[in-house]
Structure 1
Amino acid sequence: MITTKSFTLDSPLAIGSLELRNRLIMAPMQQYNGSPEGYATEHHIQHYARSANAVGLIIVESTAVSGNGRLVPNDIGIYSDRHADALKRVTEAVHARHTPLFVQLSHGGRKSDPQVTKRLIAPSAIAYDEIFGKPAQLSVSDIETLIEDYRLAARRSIAAGFDGIEVHAAHGFLIHQFLSPLSNFRTDAYGGTLEGRSKFLQDTLAAIRSETGSQYPVIVRVSSTDYTDGGLNPHELALILKPLEAKGLLDGVDVSSGGLLPTAPTDVHPGYQLPDAAVIKQHLQIPVIAVGKIYTRSFADRIIRDQLADAVAIGRPMLENPDFAQQMLMSPR
């Protein structure tokens, strides 16, 4: 008889070559405390160090790869060596708590904040809404420049001391805009077919891998659905991710949802994104991270035990209470 080992929130988990001490992850959550120039500040040092006591992994908030792709005026970036130097103080503080941390590399595309964006860009000249306005369609040369931005950001991520990278391909930002047929109307190599819409993500991951090598953990955050007919769905995302896994470009997937359009889910209950994570997990061998109001130990253990996901990420409770993860791990199973 073949038996399957039962894992819990306490069980170690390997993401690429990195072994986490448990399967509870601090999700990336915007702090709105970066300097006007996009530098990490003393707030980030204190916040992430304070939150590192119990979690197996911290994923630092959205970190811009370009000064033209910031999500808000007071977010952080990694588009210069000085930005990396500021972030190194964060990684050192978290490592002092014996906790690994990933950086989340992002570009807002058509959802870059108008206050700090000189030129709004997107795969196609389609506005998110009237506030952001109509973006310029990226040329192939523009796309090549953006891929180079990600490559250099990966180099700086290693220099800053991060233990891995999460590529932000969710919530309606640039890579998500390429992936979805609702925002990518291109007819060249970066659009049209599923393969074409996936090309920017694949090329970006390949550029990142050229800096990190195969042993450095690289994961991706995706939106499993656009909450609109004709948009992305978990089955299509699995078709996008599986070739990336096969090529050795990915070590894990962090499953969120929405953000491409001003359309919100109608029912946000505990684990509301979990069914999509479970669908994606069926197609992949790499770890899948579930997120979305999974705030009790018993619920998290059941998700992992039933192999609906390999790890659980929590966000908002950690903003209100840095000890939340420790309390969750110590609560009754």
Structure 2
Amino acid sequence: MTISLHAPITLGGVTLRNRLVMAPMQQYKGTSEAFAVSHHIEFYGRRARHVGLVIAESTAVSPNGRLWENDIGIFTDRHVEPLKKMTNAVHEQGTPIFVQLSHGGRKSSPQVTRSLIAPSAIAFDDHYGTPAALTSEGIDRVIGDYRTAAKRSLEAGFDGIELHAAHGFLLHQFASPLSNAREDAYGGSTENRARLLKEVLHAVRGEVGRNYPVIVRISATDYCAGGLTPEEWARMLKPLEPQLDAIHVSSGGLLPLRPNDVYPAYQLPHAAAIKPHFQIPVIAVGKIHSRSLAERILDDRLADCIAIGTPLLEDPDFAEYLLAQ
């Protein structure tokens, strides 16, 4: 059976009207205290008209884990009301919106981070500097930050949560052997390196229940020998599948390296390699900007949804154009 971009799909307890997902993209418009502003309300509301799902930009679970000095956060109760205005604007278009919960770890903004933390004292680069390896108490605090952020996500009206375990941020740092040299229960084996993600997911589920959508975004490759691969991610995520509702497959960001070539659907092979291992939907992303390409991916069962990013920054009606091609 042919699968169209127009076909609905269900993620957890939320049904999307089509297979187009607005990928999370930073706006660099938050206040110094990480509050969403009128820009976010207008930006997301305008672009929600034709996509099946909006995933909001990275939203910090801790003031010590912000990615940029002008990102947005959800680490105090005062952050809820501005975010509620943003979700209301998206809901007015009949579209669900997920929040992407993140902690930068060793890639947290030096401008607003008091103490840089990571699984191990391994620097990303000279700009960020060398982080402190998290203690067991520090790990518990991080898990608690995600738990509280999940509670606030419900209060802010988000329809689901995406856990950001991609692009070199904290959950990704724990998962990859290139950034995790721990010798305790959070390092070494594949199972141990996935432990923080597992415990964060469990904490989030404790707040939102099983019917509320929770998905994960991963970087399927670190673009470096000895780093993560789609196959290892499959081993990490398979035990978590009963608690997840989709896997959003991106790549890179752990190291200051870039892929050798960026072309239409350049990240698709990673999504396609992960998909056969799971029953839950897989979201592909990465320069999939034509309807013919998107529907060929869906029809070949290489992915279940298509996320688009940059074109929606430039043209708020790009999704309408894509669906009408």
The residue type paired with residue 291 of structure 1 is V
The residue type paired with residue 112 of structure 2 is V
Partner residue, 1:320:
314
Answering whether residue 297 of structure 2 is matched by residue 303 of structure 1, we say yes
> How many Å separate the matches in 2 of 1:201 and 1:129?
24
CA shift for structure 1 position 320: 0.5
Partner residue, 2:89:
93
Secondary structure in 2 aligned to 1:58? strand
The residue type paired with residue 34 of structure 2 is G
The residue type paired with residue 107 of structure 1 is H
Q: Deviations over 1:258-290 (max 9, x none)?
A: 000001000100000001100100100000000
Partner residue, 2:44:
48
CA shift for structure 1 position 56: 0.1
Partner residue, 2:144:
148
CA shift for structure 1 position 6: 2.2
> How many Å separate the matches in 2 of 1:265 and 1:8?
30
The residue type paired with residue 47 of structure 1 is F
Percent identity over the alignment is 62
> How many Å separate the matches in 2 of 1:85 and 1:232?
38
Secondary structure in 1 aligned to 2:27? coil
Answering whether residue 215 of structure 2 is matched by residue 208 of structure 1, we say no
Partner residue, 1:272:
266
> How many Å separate the matches in 1 of 2:182 and 2:218?
21
Answering whether residue 3 of structure 2 is matched by residue 7 of structure 1, we say yes
Out of 78, 85, 89, the residue aligned to residue 82 of structure 1 is 78
Answering whether residue 129 of structure 2 is matched by residue 130 of structure 1, we say no
CA shift for structure 1 position 243: 0.6
> How many Å separate the matches in 2 of 1:39 and 1:131?
25
> How many Å separate the matches in 1 of 2:244 and 2:142?
19
Unaligned ranges ≥5, structure 1: none
Q: Deviations over 1:87-145 (max 9, x none)?
A: 00000111011100000000000000100000000000000001100000000000000
Number of matched pairs? 325
> How many Å separate the matches in 1 of 2:184 and 2:254?
21
Superposition pairs for residues 19-34 of structure 1, below 5 Å? 19-34=15-30
> How many Å separate the matches in 2 of 1:9 and 1:233?
28
CA shift for structure 1 position 249: 1.6
Q: CA RMSD in A?
A: 0.5
Secondary structure in 1 aligned to 2:243? coil
TM-score (norm 2): 0.99
> How many Å separate the matches in 1 of 2:35 and 2:199?
27
Secondary structure in 2 aligned to 1:204? helix
Partner residue, 2:276:
282
> How many Å separate the matches in 2 of 1:158 and 1:249?
18
The residue type paired with residue 274 of structure 2 is I
> How many Å separate the matches in 2 of 1:43 and 1:22?
26
> How many Å separate the matches in 2 of 1:114 and 1:52?
33
> How many Å separate the matches in 2 of 1:6 and 1:325?
20
> How many Å separate the matches in 2 of 1:253 and 1:84?
26
Out of 289, 292, 311, the residue aligned to residue 286 of structure 2 is 292
Out of 190, 196, 216, the residue aligned to residue 194 of structure 1 is 190
TM-score (norm 1): 0.97
Partner residue, 1:237:
233
Partner residue, 2:158:
162
CA shift for structure 1 position 17: 1.3
Out of 235, 251, 254, the residue aligned to residue 248 of structure 2 is 254
> How many Å separate the matches in 1 of 2:312 and 2:251?
20
Secondary structure in 1 aligned to 2:292? helix
Q: Which runs of 4+ in 1 moved over 4 A?
A: none
